[in-house]
Structure 1
Amino acid sequence: MSPTAQEYVEVEPISDLKKYVAEAVGTFVLVFAAVGTAVFAGAKVGNLGVALAFGLTLLFLVYAIGPISGCHVNPAVTVGHLALGRLSVVKAGLYVVAQVIGGLVAGVVIYAIAQSLPSYNRADDGLGANGWGAHSPSAIKGPLGGVIENGYGIGAAMIIEVLLTALLVFVVLASTDQISDVPLAGVSIGFTLAVIHLVAIPIDNTSVNPARSLAVAPYQNGALAQLWLFIVFPLIGGAVGALVYRSLFGRYDRLQS
């Protein structure tokens, strides 16, 4: 007996556990594929290649796990949904826990692969962590490896993380609003993340995602001391992006689940 029209449109309810697993897996894939590109192939593909790795990975994740969990894969995006009342505090907290776990596992895997290369030096090569000042990608190193001129300062890192995270969260929310062309949401979100990385990689190596920063900070000298900025300011940016979305779109309840 062939299915009825009603059976075609009925969707099996997705359990919260499946959503948390999807967030952990999605964050693992994002960090492993994108940060892995920076670590393993950054010298060959350059900033453009790394930016595309982040953007294209998020693009396919939107379509792969978006129907399950919404594809936050980023605590700042979860904070944006929380600010709009789309998630309870408890559920948002569990989303973030799942994202952090997925990111940390990816960091371990990236490091395990990187350190198997004889020429890899953790102190010199790091693991794609974020930083400012002496740890900014724009810092100038001397012939013996020491920093002779700092890169972008803490103020630049604060501003860029708030602004660009707000942009990312705004695009996520706006692209998935019911008045938008939702099937193209993955394209707009993915390419937004790619452009964000093109802007910010020279400044602080681009976080806009606390889970991504947490994942690799333990493996790079000096990164843990600066990690707080890449947790606090992307979360502020996520809340700002949600407020901008709210002010322009005017409703809380038009987001696609």
Structure 2
Amino acid sequence: MRKPLAEFIGTFTLVLFGCGAAVIAGGDIGLTGISFAFGLALIGMAYGIGSVSGCHINPAVTLGVVASGRMSVAEAVPYIIAQVAGGIAGALVLMIIASGKADYTVAANGLGQNGWGAGYLGEYTMTAAFVFEVVATFLFLVVILGATGAGAPSAMAGLAIGLALVVIHLVGINVTGVSVNPARSIGPALFVGGTAIAQLWLFIVAPIIGAIAAGILFRSGLLDAE
């Protein structure tokens, strides 16, 4: 249970502090601050639980690792269950905290849920959202698999991965709010409902496609260290 517990805690932290930065502090820290909140939460967890579970805290990452040949499907299943549960728990705690402000409502203020189209941030199209999530997750996995591969300086992996997540958010918040992580999307969507649930499929399918593509690339040996 050590590894699933670590993944639960890590994903819980990412959602609580990443989405929490958007919901509670977004007006003060802006898109740059929110971007760093996600990245710094990941960096902290990478060094906190990385030695226990590898700090995937993301079902797409876990599936990318499986596709790369570094993990079995049987090992991945408890990771993914724990990650989704952690994302849901993080969103629940965020909702409880945010609801302590008199003028907060889930319907009006949300929980940092992902989306696209009319009324959502930059109002980008579904096609733009899908392409961004596939490409961003692919590149995110390239960083993760490369930074944790043989010969890479392991002490720097958490920093490299966290900073990659920061730049992904800097570019993509206005497009989709940035998922690249189905568990991060599932948690808030379940409590917000409506459009967030209707659009959730994209934030499950697109990151998985991007992650598996990166995993296959590494498994082929084209990018993996010799």
- Normalised by the length of structure 1, the TM-score is 0.84
Partner deviation per Cα, 1:195-243 (whole Å, 9 max, x = no partner): 0001110001000000000010023341000001000110111111223
Cα shift at 1:134: 2.1
Which residue in the other structure is 1:229 paired with? 202
Q: In the alignment, does 2:125 pair up with 1:153?
A: yes
Looking at structure 1, the residues matched to 2 and 119 of structure 2 have their Cα atoms a distance apart, in angstroms, of 38
Matches within 5 A, 1:16-165: 17-138=1-122, 151-165=123-137
Looking at structure 2, the residues matched to 232 and 87 of structure 1 have their Cα atoms a distance apart, in angstroms, of 20
105-114 or 116-125: which moved more?
116-125
Looking at structure 2, the residues matched to 59 and 153 of structure 1 have their Cα atoms a distance apart, in angstroms, of 31
Can you give the 5+ residue segments of structure 1 that lack an aligned partner in the other structure? 1-16, 139-150
Cα shift at 1:61: 1.0
Letter in 1 for 2:207: P
For residue 214 of structure 2, the aligned residue among 241, 244, 248 is 241
Which residue in the other structure is 1:217 paired with? 189
Q: In the alignment, does 2:169 pair up with 1:197?
A: yes
Cα shift at 1:88: 1.8
Q: Are the equivalent residues in 2 in contact too, given 1:130–1:207 (CA < 8 A)?
A: yes
Cα shift at 1:135: 4.6
Looking at structure 2, the residues matched to 101 and 110 of structure 1 have their Cα atoms a distance apart, in angstroms, of 14
Looking at structure 2, the residues matched to 83 and 44 of structure 1 have their Cα atoms a distance apart, in angstroms, of 40
Q: In the alignment, does 2:149 pair up with 1:177?
A: yes
Cα shift at 1:122: 1.9
- CA RMSD in angstroms, aligned pairs only: 1.3
Higher helix share: 2
Letter in 2 for 1:230: F
Looking at structure 2, the residues matched to 58 and 135 of structure 1 have their Cα atoms a distance apart, in angstroms, of 29
Higher relative contact order (CA 8 A, sep 6+): 2
Q: Tell me, what secondary structure is at the counterpart of 1:133? A: coil
Between the aligned residues of both structures, percent identity stands at: 45
Partner deviation per Cα, 1:25-82 (whole Å, 9 max, x = no partner): 1110111111111111011100000000011111111111111000000001000111
Number of aligned residues: 224
Partner deviation per Cα, 1:165-212 (whole Å, 9 max, x = no partner): 011111011001122111111111000000000111000100000000
Letter in 2 for 1:78: T
Greater C-alpha Rg: 1
Which residue in the other structure is 2:178 paired with? 206
Looking at structure 2, the residues matched to 160 and 136 of structure 1 have their Cα atoms a distance apart, in angstroms, of 15
In 2 relative to 1, CA 117–196 (structure 1 residues): closer, same or farther, beyond 3 Å?
Answer: same
Letter in 2 for 1:117: K
Q: Tell me, what secondary structure is at the counterpart of 2:189? A: helix
Partner deviation per Cα, 1:90-112 (whole Å, 9 max, x = no partner): 22111100000111111110011
